[in-house]
């Protein structure tokens, strides 16, 4: 029996053993509440402050610019809604985003729309790259907030965030980027990157599910989503999750230390797998391949092949991948990302996402390069016509 192969790192990653080890004391003897003044509290406060400092350092930020969150979704919600609610008082009404964002951003933009925002969708090309003319038109001085993801979680498209953020900043627009898939895949240095807000999530980088961080540049007007105590300078009230903050700091440092070598390793495995699939199935379509993209995501459609049948056949052979974003699986309808980049409905229905990461080895890729085309060819004709 061969070992199963996990190719769903864009959905989540395993907690790294070093990260778990670093967190464990805070579930045990070091259980204090960082707001308490006694020794247990002080110990927890030191750990939390250190974790904040370490996450800030990984991003080139200052520690008071880091807000710990419960996940990437919360960071995106806080960024979009917090900034919109703070800016609307000044008479700016536009909230600008792209149709290929994660639902964490799209739903927050929709909520801002319910509260009176003028929602503006940027055009993207067939690879998912933001159209600059559309950006120049919609990200005008009447816009309050602009939110553009750095790396798309379904097809891996990478946007020119430094350029777009600079253009937004000149127009006085608060710029947010969802960097949940980007941390560890692109260099991020907030000393020179002119974004106001940037969200990351722990479980994509070897920390547990249920922790993230939002960078909030000093001076960025923000309103909180929660109300209560004064934790995190009132930006995110609630007793802090010290253990998870420590885990996030540890995972961020480990990820950053390996960033260059890991990206090179993933790119070469991705290219090898794509080449093997295209060689055996020349009419397979790899979405987003013509643009600049992340090293870890392959989104492939085999015409005439139903994604669900293929995913089940792969699972039976021990290969785990997904039909798009993990949070969308189970929900009906084609991927909004593939729709936005103009993929035909039948092709979108056959799309499968293979995402590489820390668990992926060259031997895994060799096996998938052999099994995937065979199963995909067999699954042809399973698609509804
Ligand atoms: N943004 C992107 C690009 C993602 O890929 C995800 C998770 O898949 C999220 C936001 C949401 O992050 P979380 O699962 O931590 O809420």
Contacts of 375 (CB under 8 A, 6+ apart): 310, 313, 314, 317
Residues present in the chain in total: 385
385 pLDDT more than 60? no
Instruction: Determine contact, residues 299/288, Cβ cutoff 8 Å.
Output: yes
* Interval between CA 54 and ligand 1 midpoint (Å): 22
- Can you read off the two tokens belonging to residue 100? 């290929």
* Ligand 1: centre distance to CA 152 (Å): 10
Residue 143's pLDDT band, with cuts at 50, 70 and 90, is: very high
The pairing of strands 143-147 and 94-97 is parallel
Beta carbons of 293 and 160 less than 8 angstroms apart: no
Could you tell me if the CB of 185 is within 6 A of ligand 1?
no
Residue numbers annotated as active site = 327
| Cα–Cα distance for residue pair 200/212, rounded to 1 Å | 6
Give 200: exposed, middle or buried? Use CB within 10 Å, 0-12, 13-18, 19+. buried
Distance 114 CA to ligand 1 centre (A): 23
Neighbouring CB atoms inside 10 A of 341's CB total 23
Q: Tell me the CA–centroid distance for residue 180 and ligand 1, in Å.
A: 6
Measured from the Cα of 73, ligand 1's closest atom is 16
Residue 272 CA to ligand 1 center (angstroms) comes to 27
Closest CA to 355 of 381, 312, 326, 315: 326
| Beta-ladder partners of 338 | none
What pLDDT does 2 receive? 85
Q: CA 327 to CA 322: how far, in whole Å?
A: 10
For the record, the structure tokens of 235 come out as 């930006």
Q: Does 102 sit in the ligand 1 pocket, CB within 6 Å?
A: yes
From CA 12, how far away is CA 358, in angstroms rounded? 11
Per-residue model confidence as pLDDT tens digits over 58-75: 999 999 999 999 999 999
> Using one digit for the tens of pLDDT, what is the confidence trace for 353-371?
999 999 999 999 999 999 9
Distance CA 33, CA 168 (A): 40
Structure tokens at 155: 């097809």
Rounded mean pLDDT, 306-311: 94
Residue of 131, 133, 186, 136 whose CA lies nearest to 156: 186
72 lines ligand 1 (CB under 6 A): yes
Does residue 181's CB lie within 6 angstroms of at least one atom of ligand 1?
yes
H helix or E strand, kind and range, residue 251: helix 242-280
284: its two tokens? 């397979």
d(CA 348, CA 79): 30
CB 166 within 8 A of CB 184: no
- Nearest residue CA, atom 5 of ligand 1? 153
Distance, CA of 95 to CA of 82 (rounded, Å):
12
- Which atom of ligand 1 is found nearest the CA of 201? 15
All residues at 6 or more sequence positions from 363 whose CB lies less than 8 Å from its CB, including other chains: none
Report the number of secondary-structure helices (H) and strands (E) in the chain.
11, 12
Q: Is the per-residue pLDDT at 329 higher than 70?
A: no
Whether 147 lines ligand 1, by a CB cut-off of 6 Å, is no
CB count within 10 Å of CB 228 equals 11
Q: Is the CB of 220 inside a 6 Å radius of any atom of ligand 1? A: no
pLDDT digits (tens, 9 = 90+) for 17-41: 999 999 999 999 999 999 999 999 9
pLDDT digits (tens, 9 = 90+) for 144-183: 999 999 999 999 999 999 999 999 999 999 999 999 999 9
The reply to whether ligand 1 has any atom less than 6 angstroms from the CB of 212 is: yes
Take residue 16 and report the two structure tokens written for it.
């790294």
Taking CA atoms only, the protein residue closest to ligand 1 atom 12 is 72
- The one-character DSSP state at 2 is P
328-357: average pLDDT = 87
Mean of pLDDT values over 342-348: 95
CB 367 within 8 A of CB 273: no
Query: What's the confidence (pLDDT) of residue 333?
Result: 72
């Amino acid at each position: 029996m061969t070992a199963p192969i996990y190719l769903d790192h864009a959905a989540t990653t395993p907690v790294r053993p070093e990260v778990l080890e670093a967190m464990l004391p805070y579930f045990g003897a070091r259980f204090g509440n960082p707001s308490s003044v006694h020794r247990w509290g002080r110990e927890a406060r030191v750990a939390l402050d250190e974790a904040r400092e370490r996450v800030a350092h990984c991003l080139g930020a200052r520690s008071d610019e880091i807000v710990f969150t419960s996940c990437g979704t919360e960071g995106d919600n806080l960024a979009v809604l917090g900034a919109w609610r703070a800016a609307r008082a000044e008479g700016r009404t536009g909230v600008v985003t792209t149709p290929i964002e994660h639902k964490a951003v799209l739903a927050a933009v929709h909520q801002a729309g319910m509260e009176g925002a003028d929602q503006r969708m940027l055009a993207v090309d067939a690879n998912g790259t933001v159209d600059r003319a559309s950006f120049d038109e919609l990200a005008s001085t009447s816009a309050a907030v602009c939110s553009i993801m750095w790396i798309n979680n379904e097809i891996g498209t990478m946007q020119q965030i430094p350029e777009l953020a600079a253009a937004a900043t000149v127009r006085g627009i608060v710029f947010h980027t969802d960097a949940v898939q980007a941390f560890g895949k692109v260099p991020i240095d907030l000393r020179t990157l002119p974004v106001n807000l940037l969200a990351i999530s722990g479980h994509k980088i070897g920390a547990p599910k249920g922790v993230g961080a939002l960078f909030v540049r000093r001076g960025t007007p923000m309103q909180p989503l929660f109300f209560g105590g004064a934790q995190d300078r009132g930006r995110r009230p609630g007793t802090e999750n010290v253990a998870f903050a420590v885990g996030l700091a540890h995972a961020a440092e480990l990820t950053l230390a390996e960033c260059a070598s890991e990206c090179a390793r993933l790119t070469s495995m991705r290219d090898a797998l794509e080449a093997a699939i295209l060689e055996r199935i020349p009419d397979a379509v790899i979405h987003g391949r013509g643009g600049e993209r992340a090293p870890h995501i392959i989104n492939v459609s085999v015409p005439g092949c139903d994604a669900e049948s293929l995913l089940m056949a792969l699972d039976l052979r021990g290969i785990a991948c997904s039909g798009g974003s993990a949070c969308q699986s189970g929900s009906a309808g084609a991927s909004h990302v593939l729709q936005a980049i103009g993929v035909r409905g039948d092709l979108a229905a056959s799309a499968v996402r293979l995402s590489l990461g820390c668990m992926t080895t060259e031997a895994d890729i060799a096996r998938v390069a052999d099994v995937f085309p065979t199963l995909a060819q067999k699954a042809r004709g399973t698609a509804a016509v």
